[in-house]
Amino acid sequence: MIRVAQARQARQARQAQLTSHLYDKRLELGRTRPAFRIEAGRVAQSVIGEVAMARQISASAAANQFGFALGLRAMPETTKAFATGSISDRVAKAVVDEVGGLSPDDANSVDFDLAPNLPMMSAKRAGAAARKLVLQVDPHASRHAANTARRDRHISIHVLPHSMASISMRIPAAQAVAVYTALDLQGGRHHCPGTQI
């Protein structure tokens, strides 16, 4: 079972490297050939689309994998631990999420300090340790990341079959708890026998 998990993680690490390499190649193509010159954001969208089609996943899942791949680039020690199966994908993602707002040099510094301890940590502890190091390296990065996250908040609704819909939210945690509580309370009032809330 451990070997299967390690093989899966090695495959995920390799996919992240390939995704990052594809993005770099597309950016280089735009720099060297004027006919292919497009802005970096459009290159990212193109790579995300290709990843989604190749892996037969949604665009949002591909975007998450793309962000993870770019985050791992500045963290060679974490990448190595992930590729060898020393840490899980959850641990690697927790670290990448926390380090995301740093410059490549600062991210590399955090990676160097944190990576030796990662194999003994859960995802929650790894994220907390990375957050602590990020605050030491760049105290303003945490505030910037929080402001960016708040700016990126959104709510969307997707139509489903049989007169159903799915609501997706990216909102501050306190607001999410309030929304959930209100929906749960409203759903409890209209509970039909045989259904789960």
pLDDT at 46 over 70: yes
Residues 87, 89, 91, 96, CA torsion sign: positive
- Across the range 7-21, mean pLDDT stands at 80
- Average pLDDT of the chain, as a whole number: 82
Q: DSSP string spanning 5-26?
A: HHHHHHHHHHHHHHHHHHHHHH
**pLDDT tens for residues 17-41?**
888 888 888 888 777 776 666 676 7
- Across the range 47-62, mean pLDDT stands at 86
Q: What is the pLDDT of residue 47?
A: 87
Tokens of 92: 């690697």
The one-letter code for the residue type at 114 is L
Q: In this structure, which long-range contacts are made by residues 81-87, counting pairs with CB atoms below 8 Å and at least 24 apart in sequence? A: 81/115, 81/118, 81/119, 82/9, 82/12, 82/13, 83/9, 83/10, 83/13, 83/14, 84/6, 84/10, 85/2, 85/5, 85/6, 85/7, 85/9, 85/10, 86/118, 86/119, 87/118, 87/119, 87/121, 87/126
In the chain, % of residues over pLDDT 90: 18
Q: What is the pLDDT of residue 175?
A: 79
Q: What is the pLDDT of residue 188?
A: 66
**pLDDT tens for residues 152-172?**
777 888 888 888 888 888 777
Confidence of residue 73 (pLDDT cuts 50, 70, 90): confident
Helices (H), 100-138: 104-114, 123-137
Tokens of 125: 């502890």
